[in-house]
């Protein structure tokens, strides 16, 4: 198993992250538990900031908050000089509660509601990324009502099919996102925006997620810079910002070969400069929106092993106390992960097992046929690189509670997300008066 960040095997033979023994973390916080390595989280933020902003200046890095967001994460992103990409009123509200600077917030989404847009306008978010004509009309009406002129980007579907999973491709023509470039819809949107109560500052594209092939980004730059040149020629408008989205891939399991962040930045920034010269354009400010590549490698999930089922000559199943409710990616995307028995980390991984969750679903599998130390009930199993889209896509299926999350650094663990309780599960339940009966609630203690 590949070790990420500050992971190491300590003198007890246990896996340690951020100077914290995972066995001790399980005792203090329980399992399942999301563990975030603060040093690794900050190091990746700095690598992005240094590679884009420090090196090229005319650039900005936005953290794609859908990967993992809490108020504490907002504060870390602010301290590291990053902006935020938010896609809902809830993500925006989290940023507001963390007192994140709104001028560094870009608000995405293919179906923003009037209330969400009002929240954004009333709090003066930096940019609203407009996804469709309906939203452009709605935003125009709200801006006039609220007497403001929001600065916007238009999301463009560039017709680029990145080599990734079907469900996380977003740049191809047949996509729910954005204005299509190839049929003239994108240019129509530019002209429509010039007639609205908005200020069109730039264009945005996003070609997909978990991308390893950097040539996909080169192609995106070429297509988008040609579109910016076409905008100037047809409308006279000088586009000031080019947002290339995110999608940078990370290591999950053997065979994954992510590119270097600085190499990615050099390739993108130099290509934009080249195309600006070719089309005689002022170089636009370049924005990127990494999420998975920041949160993913910094986060792990710790479980307790329960039942073990071996089918002779077929497969050995190791069940844990979580599953698709805290990490749906294997079920949804067939995502592959590695694993380790954290309390036996110093031992050789010589067993081939499949890791299953506890949901009442045959598809609740976290990993198929992975190498693992000999597992026994009560052992602690850790899956690395689960920091992105674990908690944010978590559910209460089977009325399972969502795990808590801790931030670890220098031997100290701090709770940044409380684990749910059974009381939380029924907090919003409402019993109609006609169904009530006079009984005492049963104790769960």
State residue 440's pLDDT score.
59
| Distance, CA of 30 to CA of 200 (rounded, Å) | 49
State residue 177's pLDDT score.
81
Q: Could you tell me if 157 and 176 are in contact, meaning their C-beta atoms sit under 8 angstroms apart?
A: no
State residue 171's pLDDT score.
42
State residue 169's pLDDT score.
42
State residue 106's pLDDT score.
98
Sequence-separated (6 or more) residues with CB below 8 Å from residue 253: 336, 337, 338
State residue 57's pLDDT score.
87
Q: Residue-wise pLDDT tens for the chain (445 aa)?
A: 999 999 999 999 999 999 999 999 999 999 999 999 999 999 999 999 999 999 998 999 999 999 999 999 999 999 999 999 999 999 999 999 999 999 999 999 999 999 999 999 999 999 999 999 999 999 999 999 999 999 999 999 998 866 543 433 444 566 788 999 988 999 999 999 999 999 999 999 999 888 998 998 999 999 999 999 999 999 999 999 999 999 999 999 999 999 999 999 999 999 999 999 999 999 999 999 999 999 999 999 999 999 999 999 999 999 999 999 999 999 998 999 999 999 999 999 999 999 999 999 999 999 999 999 999 999 999 999 999 999 999 999 999 999 999 999 999 999 999 999 999 999 999 999 989 886 555 666 6
How many residues does the structure list for the chain?
Answer: 445
| Distance, CA of 371 to CA of 357 (rounded, Å) | 17
State residue 166's pLDDT score.
42
Tokens at 90, concatenated: 């809830």
State residue 172's pLDDT score.
54
Backbone angles phi, psi at 166, to 5 degrees: -50, -40
Tokens at 438, concatenated: 């006079």
Q: Is the backbone peptide bond immediately before 32 cis, with ω within 30 degrees of 0?
A: yes
Tokens at 201, concatenated: 């500052």
Q: Could you tell me if 286 and 52 are in contact, meaning their C-beta atoms sit under 8 angstroms apart?
A: yes
State residue 176's pLDDT score.
81
State residue 445's pLDDT score.
60
So which residues are the catalytic ones? 360
**pTM to 2 decimals?**
0.94
């Amino acid at each position: 198993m590949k070790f990420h960040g500050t992971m190491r095997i300590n003198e007890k033979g246990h896996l340690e992250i951020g100077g914290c023994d995972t066995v001790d973390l399980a005792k203090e916080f329980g399992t399942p538990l999301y563990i975030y390595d603060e040093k690794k989280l900050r190091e990746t933020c700095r690598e992005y900031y240094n590679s884009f902003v420090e090196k090229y200046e005319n650039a900005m890095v936005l953290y794609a908050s859908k990967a993992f967001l809490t108020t504490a994460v907002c504060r870390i992103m602010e301290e590291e000089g990053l902006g935020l990409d938010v896609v809902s009123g809830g993500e925006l509200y989290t940023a507001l509660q963390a007192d994140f600077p709104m001028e560094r917030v870009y608000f995405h989404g293919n179906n923003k509601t009037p209330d969400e847009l009002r929240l954004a306008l009333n709090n003066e978010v930096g940019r609203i990324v407009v996804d469709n004509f309906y939203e452009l009309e709605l935003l125009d009406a709200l801006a006039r009502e609220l007497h403001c002129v929001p600065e916007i980007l238009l999301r463009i579907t560039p017709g680029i099919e990145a080599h990734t999973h079907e469900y996380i491709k977003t740049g191809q023509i047949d996509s729910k996102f954005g204005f299509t470039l190839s049929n003239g819809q994108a240019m129509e949107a530019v002209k429509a925006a010039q007639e609205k109560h908005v200020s069109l500052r730039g264009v945005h594209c996003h070609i997909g997620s978990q991308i390893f092939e950097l040539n996909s980004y080169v192609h995106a730059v070429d297509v988008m810079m040609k579109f910016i040149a076409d905008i100037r020629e047809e409308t006279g408008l000088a586009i000031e910002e080019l947002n290339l989205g995110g999608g940078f891939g990370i290591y999950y399991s053997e065979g994954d070969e992510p590119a270097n962040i600085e190499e990615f930045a050099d390739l993108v920034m130099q290509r934009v400069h080249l195309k600006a010269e070719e089309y005689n354009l002022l170089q636009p400010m370049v924005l990127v929106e990494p999420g998975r590549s920041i949160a993913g490698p910094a986060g792990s999930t710790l479980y307790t092993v329960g039942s073990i089922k071996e089918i002779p000559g077929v497969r050995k199943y190791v069940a844990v106390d979580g599953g698709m409710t805290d990490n749906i990616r294997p079920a949804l995307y067939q995502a592959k992960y590695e694993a380790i028995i954290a309390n036996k980390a110093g031992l050789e991984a010589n067993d081939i097992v499949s890791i299953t969750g506890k949901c009442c679903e045959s598809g609740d599998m976290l990993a198929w046929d992975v190498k693992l130390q000999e597992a026994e009930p009560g052992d602690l199993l850790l899956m690395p690189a689960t920091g992105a889209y674990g908690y944010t896509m978590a559910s209460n299926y089977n009325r399972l509670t969502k795990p808590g999350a801790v931030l670890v650094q220098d031997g100290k663990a701090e709770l940044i997300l409380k684990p749910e309780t059974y009381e939380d599960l029924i907090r919003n339940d409402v019993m109609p008066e006609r169904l009530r009966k006079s009984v005492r609630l049963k104790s769960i203690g």
